[in-house]
Structure 1
Amino acid sequence: MTAPLLTSLAAPDGDRPDALSVGGRALSREELLGAAGAVAARIAGAPVVAVRATPTPETVVAVVGGLLAGVPVVPVPPDSGPAERDHILRDSGATLLLTGEDVQAPIETVPVDPADRAAWTKPEPDPESTAFILYTSGTTGAPKGALISRRAVAADLDGLAAAWAWTAEDTLVHGLPLFHVHGLVLGVLGPLRVGSRLVHTGKPTPAAYAAAGGSLYFGVPTVWNRIARDPDSARALASARLLVSGSAPLPAPVFRDLERLTGQRPIERYGMTETLITISTRADGERRPGYVGTPLSGISTRIATEEGAEIGELQLTGPTLFDGYLNRPEATAGSYTEDGWFRTGDIAAIDPDGFHRIVGRASTDMIKSGGYRIGAGEVENALLDHPAVREAAVVGAPHEDLGQEIVAYVVADGIGEQELIDFVASQLSVHKRPRKVRFLEALPRNAMGKPQKKLLPPA
């Protein structure tokens, strides 16, 4: 039986003044709950509230205040343009925008001050009620609001705590955005639920991570790549207990560099906005480069493959799944199979021992060339194994004979197209080699560091 979401938020014995440090500003748990209680008192009864999710204590206070009051919280990226922001506010039905800054918005703004205090004694809201409306972009159309219940959040955090042996003795360090599952749900509510200390570095720089002295670190591949390229900062993480990577596949060369510099192999995990985190490597288990581990407690997975294929769409069920897309019943129905499994849209493989490997998105990373089904991620990792290559993205481009041809976009120094093609052919099956290589100054990426293949120039 999963405990109510906020049960563990009360200050434990020995509450410390820096239980939560965000961008160098600290709060004790008692101070956080007092400030969040003041927010809850101001917003109680609102249908939905939005939070301008800057990496600040104000954001943490606002989110916890919304959870105390039982009002669904909509995190809004602080760098979103007016069109994106207004769509999120309008579509979600938010009537208030909680913010620590003076901003102009089409709805009423509520200032958040971590120094405010008010007691909040009302009971825990219904576990089935909505905790968050998290907006996620698909391949077409405006972002959709995923309804995430309090029960799902609690189940996910408990599953991760068990998988990672995450306890109140840990200090979690990260500098991730507070408007995604990774940075907000895992990175803020996680330490509040298990009782561990949180150090949010503001920005996820190698120097900031090195100086934080944590036992548990969260990062996306871009962050870990930068740390691996800063050996002194990487070595400073050698005393940490776990290095966790997510939100995109961790390139195998970065995995190996972190192991060499820190003395430990990083952990990878897999999830989506709609499912939260569902698969992870265990703290006490094997850690394989390119693999995201096994399902968390209560999660079941399967691969929908075409006959004779080893890879296919990952589908899953379990207690962490969302309650549907807000006001989009057709989109919700379309995300499930006829027998009730959630369709992730990700291409994966499951080894005989249950370890999962994510190949990529079905829409962009499954390439059908000359009768072969090829995962873009495998080719990208082969390219990244070449010492001259810093970044790589692989797509399938239309081809009149092959159906699709493999095209690689790379950021590299001192190497030519044919040399890279030959290198991949020497590492993988010959049919998996790129037919074309395009050189770029940098790959287009989103706020979480994921390459945005839709923004690549034409092949």
Structure 2
Amino acid sequence: MLLTSLTDSQDLERAVTVGEETLSRSELVDRAGRFAAGIPDDGPVAVHATASMDTVVAITGCLLAGVPVVPVPPDSGPAELGHLLRDSGATSWSGERPDGIDLPAVVPGTAAVSPRETDPEATAMLLYTSGTTGAPKGAQLSGRAIAAGLDGLIEVWDWTPDDTVAHGLPLFHVHGLILGVLGSLRLGSRVVHTVKPQPARYAAAGASMYFGVPTVWNRIVDDPASAKALGGARLLVSGSAPLPASLFERIAGLTGQAPVERYGMTETMITLSAHAAGERRAGWVGLPVPGAQTRLRPADDGAGETVPDDGETVGRLEVRGPMLFSGYLNRPDANAETSTGDGWFRTGDLAVRDPGGFHRIVGRESTDLIKSGGYRIGSGEIEAVLMDHPAVAECAVVGAADPDLGQKIVAYVVGEGTGQALIDHVASQLSWHKRPREVVFVEALPRNPMGKVQKKLLGS
């Protein structure tokens, strides 16, 4: 069973806290069991996944009932929301009801039902990817996959029932929902959701483990008093986006410990992470977690080949392991595109790996692979170095056609200063051939409705 600790006899007085509301384990089991009693059929159930205890109860109730759950981002627009409901085949709704929703509401029963034995390979959760092109795709995660992913992290992070996890991340993604809430419910540790990821709320949580994304950590280090209050924690975890090296150092300087960086996707859970008791290296996302395997394939599709583990050669990252999803719902085309046929998943990310097995993510293959002067370069590592420059607020690096190099590296920058200063800055941190040949200052970067930079529009 995925949420094993919820069926234990032990009762934590404060198992889950969301904002000002707290439930013990027995109280959560009762409320989730009553929610499960009200589910009208075999689902899926769409849950309006606000940062609330109601969301935790509803998702827990679906998992205990063995009914697939579809966490719906509360800021979904009408078109996106309509697609999620049609594609998932959701049969009922839980939570606040936006305009246009005509699904029947789940009405909790008066008595809790017992957890239901289900097939561990059946879909437990449908998480929709944000997607940079086309409509979001539904990633089918089984109970077994979620459990395997969590158990791998429990081991490498030395996570125990004595820990308290605190975060203020969304409850419709892997990071905030599965790691931040379900991990604690599976293991039996306490979880505190701060509703908003504000520095003062993190500082007041009194946790031993904190989860955040780079934006959150940047806000925390800008509030030194709050950052220092986190010094008593044993693990500070950053993920979901690259953590600039300068921010890594500021976190370490204010809290007394380097953060743990990790890598994963909706489709794969977390497959790479630095270990709690191991090395933590700025810009590197660590080693495969237990059960996960990785390989780096040549960017030119070299059949049966892998790239050398030299920490420099860029390859296409592929992963496999028991934490991988079962496939995209209703998307055989996407399944064929991302599957190798022998159990490996093509992540679409570019990475390098050093002789010790540490990985560094350098960008997305579709937009971030630049072929310049015979070199294959990931734009992500250049962007990370540029973001460490105090004059740079935002940046995006692309390859532009060049008659001599094939592609030249061009950096689009929101900020101040001179282009030559930024070129020299990159050259001082990375290999000479990775320096931008041109810097273009812009007022803003083009972004899609999800906030992701649309690199294909740069230079057009």
TM-score by length of 2: 0.92
TM-superposition CA deviations, 1:21-40 (whole Å, max 9, x none)? 11222222212111111111
The answer on 1:432 being equivalent to 2:434 is: yes
Q: Equivalents in 2 of 1:228, 1:381: separation in Å?
A: 18
Q: Equivalents in 2 of 1:56, 1:381: separation in Å?
A: 34
Q: Equivalents in 2 of 1:13, 1:152: separation in Å?
A: 26
**Shift in CA distance, 208/291, structure 1 to aligned 2, threshold 3 Å:** same
Equivalent residue, structure 2, for 1:278: 271
Q: Equivalents in 1 of 2:165, 2:456: separation in Å?
A: 34
Q: Equivalents in 2 of 1:22, 1:382: separation in Å?
A: 36
Q: How does 1:109-128 map to 2 (within 5 A)?
A: 109-110=104-105, 118-128=111-121
Contact 2:46 2:85 survives alignment (8 Å):
yes
The answer on 1:13 being equivalent to 2:7 is: no
**Shift in CA distance, 302/282, structure 1 to aligned 2, threshold 3 Å:** same
| Mean Cα deviation higher: 428-437 or 36-45 | 428-437
Q: Equivalents in 2 of 1:370, 1:445: separation in Å?
A: 29
**Shift in CA distance, 300/362, structure 1 to aligned 2, threshold 3 Å:** same
Question: What secondary structure is seen at the aligned counterpart in 2 of 1:313?
Answer: strand
Q: Equivalents in 2 of 1:375, 1:323: separation in Å?
A: 29
- Could you tell me which of 67, 77, 80 is aligned with 1:81? 77
Contact 1:384 1:391 survives alignment (8 Å):
yes
Equivalent residue, structure 2, for 1:96: 92
| Mean Cα deviation higher: 351-360 or 80-89 | 351-360
Question: What secondary structure is seen at the aligned counterpart in 1 of 2:407?
Answer: strand
Contact 2:35 2:106 survives alignment (8 Å):
no
Q: Equivalents in 2 of 1:446, 1:196: separation in Å?
A: 38
**Shift in CA distance, 210/410, structure 1 to aligned 2, threshold 3 Å:** farther
Q: Equivalents in 1 of 2:115, 2:295: separation in Å?
A: 42
Contact 2:446 2:458 survives alignment (8 Å):
no
Q: Equivalents in 2 of 1:313, 1:379: separation in Å?
A: 17
Question: What secondary structure is seen at the aligned counterpart in 1 of 2:366?
Answer: coil
Give identity over the alignment, percent: 62
Q: Equivalents in 1 of 2:220, 2:334: separation in Å?
A: 39
Equivalent residue, structure 2, for 1:42: 38
| Mean Cα deviation higher: 117-126 or 61-70 | 117-126
Q: How does 1:387-398 map to 2 (within 5 A)?
A: 387-398=390-401
The answer on 1:371 being equivalent to 2:367 is: no
1:97: Cα distance to partner? 1.3
**Shift in CA distance, 438/227, structure 1 to aligned 2, threshold 3 Å:** farther
Equivalent residue, structure 2, for 1:259: 252
Q: Equivalents in 1 of 2:293, 2:250: separation in Å?
A: 32
Equivalent residue, structure 1, for 2:23: 27
Question: What secondary structure is seen at the aligned counterpart in 2 of 1:301?
Answer: strand
Q: Equivalents in 1 of 2:216, 2:457: separation in Å?
A: 21
**Shift in CA distance, 54/436, structure 1 to aligned 2, threshold 3 Å:** same
Contact 2:318 2:347 survives alignment (8 Å):
yes
Q: How does 1:32-431 map to 2 (within 5 A)?
A: 32-99=28-95, 101-110=96-105, 118-305=111-298, 306=300, 310-413=313-416, 415-431=417-433
Question: What secondary structure is seen at the aligned counterpart in 1 of 2:105?
Answer: strand
Contact 1:279 1:296 survives alignment (8 Å):
yes
Q: Equivalents in 2 of 1:35, 1:447: separation in Å?
A: 36
**Shift in CA distance, 136/102, structure 1 to aligned 2, threshold 3 Å:** closer
1:226: Cα distance to partner? 1.5
Q: Equivalents in 1 of 2:280, 2:101: separation in Å?
A: 48
**Shift in CA distance, 377/57, structure 1 to aligned 2, threshold 3 Å:** same
Letter in 2 for 1:396: G
CA RMSD of aligned residues (A): 2.3
Q: Provide the aligned length of Structure 1 versus Structure 2.
A: 450
Q: Equivalents in 1 of 2:234, 2:428: separation in Å?
A: 37
1:279: Cα distance to partner? 1.0
Contact 2:38 2:107 survives alignment (8 Å):
no
Letter in 2 for 1:357: R
Letter in 1 for 2:38: R
Q: Equivalents in 1 of 2:359, 2:131: separation in Å?
A: 23
**Shift in CA distance, 412/57, structure 1 to aligned 2, threshold 3 Å:** same
Contact 1:443 1:451 survives alignment (8 Å):
no
Q: Equivalents in 2 of 1:405, 1:62: separation in Å?
A: 51
| Mean Cα deviation higher: 19-28 or 151-160 | 19-28
| Mean Cα deviation higher: 400-409 or 165-174 | 400-409
Q: Equivalents in 2 of 1:446, 1:37: separation in Å?
A: 40
Q: Equivalents in 1 of 2:235, 2:395: separation in Å?
A: 27
Q: Equivalents in 2 of 1:325, 1:284: separation in Å?
A: 35
Contact 1:37 1:117 survives alignment (8 Å):
no
Q: Equivalents in 1 of 2:21, 2:281: separation in Å?
A: 37
**Shift in CA distance, 141/34, structure 1 to aligned 2, threshold 3 Å:** same
Contact 1:58 1:112 survives alignment (8 Å):
no
1:256: Cα distance to partner? 0.6
Alignment gaps of 5+ in structure 2: none
TM-superposition CA deviations, 1:314-356 (whole Å, max 9, x none)? 1111100111111112221221114331111111111111111
Letter in 1 for 2:453: Q
Letter in 2 for 1:295: P
Letter in 1 for 2:419: E
Letter in 1 for 2:389: H
Contact 1:269 1:280 survives alignment (8 Å):
yes
1:228: Cα distance to partner? 1.8
1:66: Cα distance to partner? 0.8
**Shift in CA distance, 112/204, structure 1 to aligned 2, threshold 3 Å:** farther
Contact 2:448 2:454 survives alignment (8 Å):
no
Contact 1:51 1:74 survives alignment (8 Å):
yes
Contact 2:3 2:182 survives alignment (8 Å):
no
